[in-house]
Structure 1
């Protein structure tokens, strides 16, 4: 008996929906019987053994068993719940697991045991030839202490809030892939209507091209690392070992960037060493080493023992030092940093410390370094998960017979390079998915991109994408939870997914659960009127009233006049509106709010504590 991987032990089925259960038995034409909650449903398999039955209007609850029999075949699905099922889609910030947020949220998840919340991770798979019918594998995992750390952090904190309020089981279907642009999640027919993707769609249908490209990338990467390792003096001479002095090595301040140093343009391997004096108390029990994040890759040693390595720039380096490796007194840390195509860095304003026995050793400060090998830059890899339509076919289409309550969408970072038109693609994707599921206008709640990058930087690609996200709300039954105040300037993957999950839950309570009067968002720009030398801005989602986050004067507003140049402006709250003016600019024409990649000083909120969404009054 074969079923799609999502129909498996521990699954959560959507309540009050028509659940179509499809499968295949080994003998065609025989009667298939499905028993669930003492209700028996029968059907006959077709000559190829394919069959389907419909489970009607299931009430929330469980766990129960679902039993399928066909002749001599019998399949029992155990621990089945009925509740609300939410799809978690997008890129890496939706994937980001709870374990990656523990610097900030460890106490929030300590001891949690919520088996009525479950997650199914869709296997990452693309297909350029058409929509797939089934998932080959996958498992439902409960939010118990053993499984919780692997949950999508944004999804888990969303589900926790919904479960606490309504008491029904919550199923999360995570179908997300880091780095993917929105077009990877849109169907081919829709992309062809949008236009501009035809050449890539056709090229990716050529299996020989796909396979040869993947093989070429694999060979190139393997050869690059082989040459690097062969050339690396540090590997040959054992620079990771504790023995020996770092004579002739230069000094480097950690954290810090290679920029501005002799290492700036280096691609290859650089070795860093630091000697630390460890008290006896810190050598007993669990030892944790935190090394911020490192650009691009690293191999990290303690006293010559490899304690961890990471192959790319984004994950935080949090390594567990095996028992017995750390010794009382003198110890040597060695980090081999590999720069493939970026300027290397120990990223600033992150933790660099050794933690054990209730104590911490600060690892910031002077380290010794020496170049191990210099190579050419490693050419970027071709990621077919990023190509148009592939993920839709492989990771969305197979879910279409599994009813859901709605979708949470966290994506956009990979479209900031070309933000224009994102709103149209977002709306087309929602229509696409609703037609695919065929269950009506289910809610779609997106995340407006977090603040990121150095404060005051003049780049506005993220701001432009946020505005496109705001325009995308023209599609019915959609919402936008802003993360504009939840980001970290130095980390593409901010850890405060708890606040984000709770904001997503607010939107779901209003869109999916009927709490229509709930204030579910921060202030959203509605319209502008001119009043002499000032512009008055009106908002929806005012809630209990407009205010500032910190009690200070409004910040983050700018205006431009007839010459088209934006300049900072004065703004103040007047009732449920904001009045903006600029003394040297008359008449003002348009207003922007929080219009930068990291508008850290923007401080307009409602009294419910929800941040205003960035906007421009330009068409």
Structure 2
């Protein structure tokens, strides 16, 4: 065979050869040794040249390797019924060959090394494989792809709703034709990013369903059951995020206030300086809290099983004035203890401790043993009491509550109990009610905790890092559940959301891309008339966006709210409503 080989337009040396399978090889060490040289120096010179050639050839081959974005990977769902992009990087002028569904496509990387191939309209189906040069992608489906975005009610995982839908989740979660990918929290104020690291497509199976967005889980499952068309979910959402964080710099041009704010955070040095200073202040506050908390430093700590709390104040978690301690609202640490009886049958069993919702944070002990902590107010307190910790007769639970910002409380009408078995008292399993009288003592009064800047909430940050990398990926539409963080600025929300919809449609190059807006759920106590009015006005702004923009649908959700929880759990009914709206749109397209 001719030894003048060419790779990426570069001639390879004669020390290389092709093996019978078509792979480039180098003469190995033993072959090099067979060359006889009278001069010892020539022998070693030849050996060194061989090593140089090894590195040269690997460099030539390695540079030409095609690289794909994380979205274009095993298990992906490609959009049916529309041209589909496949893209990546390689060496400049590198030829890229794609084989998919028995058809071949070819392109050449540009001078920056970028390449893109647009596949023709595809029909639903799969699984299939795709070859891209030497890369083989497996388990590819063709169906409908949805971007799910917004804040925590879109993020809320299946694991948070298992109490309400335990049987369904445990018995009806095997839908391998539904695929899911979740972007991590990333932000960037400099420029739109090209890729999202560390993500992969997951099939909906009982083994991996718990991290799925609960809303996406229910609507995707419902759509698939009724259409048998594969469904792909790209969940790019961040708890607490305001809408302006999801809009591009160009999309924010009508809002100079937000553009000016964005430019402040273009300085990495400024952000690092702010983070360093805030960490320093936060650390000092926590050190002062710990040092000033008598409950952690007395000879017998207050969480100990044998601690004598006879001089503590009797209190009720929900109705008494413990949070003010007779003064103004007290931040810092508050201690609560309660004795409860355990039967001989319950003793020694593994159990689940439910402590509703606590503002702001807590650490919990049972019989002096630490069983769990939550660092902020929203997650439900669900702690495992290990087998052997409970004993027959008297037992003690201790809660060390932390207040950071002046609203310490135990949220009413949440479960405060110990559950045995699978935690299903409705099926006859036992439980212990923990409401009623508790013992209380103030630990360490503190000023409000120093504030922390949520940099990822600043304008354009989430768009650049979590939406821009998706724009080459062909999608069916967007489900948007966001707004709680913009209620206080509700008068501008209509304009901001309209700008975001227009921005995303333009950048996806899809002027009629469907948007399904989730109406904010009802929230707050009936006595909080001002707050409830603000939320009602916000919902009106959402409705106006749907009424004044083509192909934007408002999904009713206000009736599914819970007055005491900003994260209502009935994501099943909501998911079914989203699915119904999507199916109506599908049927309309089919009739056309």
TM bucket (normalised to shorter chain) is: 0.7 to 0.9
1:11 aligns with 2:76: yes
Q: Is the 8 A contact 2:348 2:391 kept in 1?
A: no
State the 1:264 CA deviation.
Answer: 5.5
- 1:132 paired with 2:190, answer no
1:83 aligns with 143
Residues 47/424 of structure 1: CA separation in 2 closer, same or farther (3 Å cut): closer
Q: Does 1:219 align with 2:256?
A: no
Q: Which has the higher helix share?
A: 2
User: How many Å separate the matches in 2 of 1:108 and 1:259?
Assistant: 40
- 2:218 touches 2:576 (CA, 8 Å); kept in 1? yes
Q: Indicate if the aligned counterparts of 1:302 and 1:332 stay in contact, CA closer than 8 A.
A: yes
Secondary structure in 2 matching 1:16 = coil
Structure 2 partner of 1:368 = 439
State the alpha-carbon separation in 2 of the partners of residues 31 and 285 from structure 1: 64
Runs (4 or more) in structure 1 with deviation over 6 Å come to none
Distance 1:66 1:301, change over 3 A: farther
* Cα separation, 1, equivalents of 2:132 and 2:589: 39
1:495 pairs with one of 560, 569, 572? 569
Contact 1:264 1:344 in 2 (8 A): no
Aligned partner of 1:463 in structure 2 is 536
Match of residue 439 from structure 1: 510
2:354–2:381 CA contact under 8 A, matched in 1: yes
- Structure 1 residues 127 and 512, CA, compared in 2 at 3 Å: closer, same or farther? farther
Q: Please tell me whether the aligned partners of residues 180 and 201 of structure 2 are also in contact (alpha carbons under 8 angstroms).
A: yes
SS of corresponding position for 2:588: coil
- Distance across 2 between alignment mates of 1:190 and 1:48: 27
> Distance in 1 between the 2:390 and 2:97 partners?
61
Deviations 1:94-138 (A, max 9, x none): 111111122322223122211221211112111111211221221
Shift of 1:229: 1.4
Q: CA deviation at 1:507?
A: 1.6
Q: 1:146 aligns with which of 182, 200, 207?
A: 207
RMSD, matched Cα: 1.9
1:528-567 alignment, distance < 5 Å? none
Q: Which residue of 1 aligns with 2:483?
A: 412
Structure 1 residues 417-426 or 273-282, which shifts more? 273-282
The reply to whether residue 349 of structure 1 matches residue 420 of structure 2 is no
Q: Provide the rounded CA distance (Å) in 2 between the counterparts of 1:139 and 1:327.
A: 46
Alignment partner of 1:448 out of 519, 543, 566: 519
Larger mean CA deviation between 391-400 and 8-17 belongs to 8-17
Indicate if the aligned counterparts of 1:231 and 1:373 stay in contact, CA closer than 8 A: yes
Matched ranges for 1:117-516 at <5 A: 117-237=178-298, 238-256=301-319, 258=322, 261-262=325-326, 265-283=329-347, 286-357=350-421, 358-459=429-530, 460-473=533-546, 474-514=548-588
Shift of 1:325: 2.3
Alignment check: 8 A CA contact 2:97 2:107 kept: yes
Partners of 2:323 and 2:132 in 1: how far apart? 63
* C-alpha distance in 1 between matches for 2:296 and 2:110: 63
Cα distance in 2 between the residues matched to 1:35 and 1:450: 47
Conserved? CA contact 1:87–1:406, under 8 Å:
yes
Structure 1 pair 103–207 and aligned structure 2 pair: CA distance change class (3 A): same
Give the aligned length. 512
The alpha carbon displacement at 1:284 in A equals 5.3
1:243 deviates by 2.0
CA drift of 1:42 comes to 2.5
Q: What's the offset of the Cα at 1:335?
A: 1.0
For residues 220 and 470 of structure 1, the distance between their equivalents in structure 2, rounded to whole angstroms, comes to 43
- Tell me, which stretches of 5 or more residues in structure 1 are unaligned? 518-619
Which stretch shows the higher mean deviation, 83-92 or 214-223? 214-223
Post-superposition shift, 1:346? 0.9
Deviates more, 1:58-67 or 1:338-347: 58-67
- Quickly say closer, same or farther: Cα 1:353–1:7, change in 2 above 3 A: same
Q: 1:457 to 1:319 in 2, by over 3 A?
A: same
Contact 2:555 2:578 in 1 (8 A): yes
How far 1:169 sits from its partner (Å)?
1.1
Pair 285,359 (structure 1): closer, same or farther in 2 beyond 3 Å: same
Report if aligned partners of 1:256, 1:345 keep a CA contact under 8 Å in 2.
no
Secondary structure of residue in 2 paired with 1:421: helix
- The two structures have a TM-score, normalised by structure 1, of 0.79
Larger RCO, structure (CA 8 Å, separation 6 or more) = 2
| Structure 2 match to 1:582 | none
The answer as to whether partners of 2:349 and 2:386 remain within 8 angstroms in 1 is no
Q: Tell me how far apart the structure 2 counterparts of residues 103 and 439 of structure 1 sit (CA, whole Å).
A: 40
Q: Do the aligned residues in 1 keep the contact of 2:249 with 2:259 (CA within 8 Å)? A: no
* Separation (CA, whole Å) in 1 of partners of 2:414 and 2:589: 40
Judged with a 3 Å threshold, the aligned counterparts in structure 2 of structure 1 residues 83 and 176 are, in CA distance, closer, same or farther, namely same
> Which structure 2 residues correspond to residues 22-101 of structure 1 after superposition, within 5 A?
22-25=87-90, 27-69=91-133, 74-101=134-161
Does residue 21 of the first structure (1) align with residue 96 of the second (2)? no
Once the 2 structures are TM-superposed, how far is the Cα of residue 378 of structure 1 from its aligned partner?
0.7
Q: How has the CA–CA distance of structure 1 residues 41 and 325 changed in structure 2, closer, same or farther, with 3 Å as cutoff?
A: farther
Q: 8 Å contact 2:148–2:216 — kept in the other structure? A: yes
Pair member with larger Rg? 2
Change (3 A) 1:343 1:15: same
1:135 match: secondary structure: coil
Distance in 2 of aligned mates of 1:462 and 1:343:
20
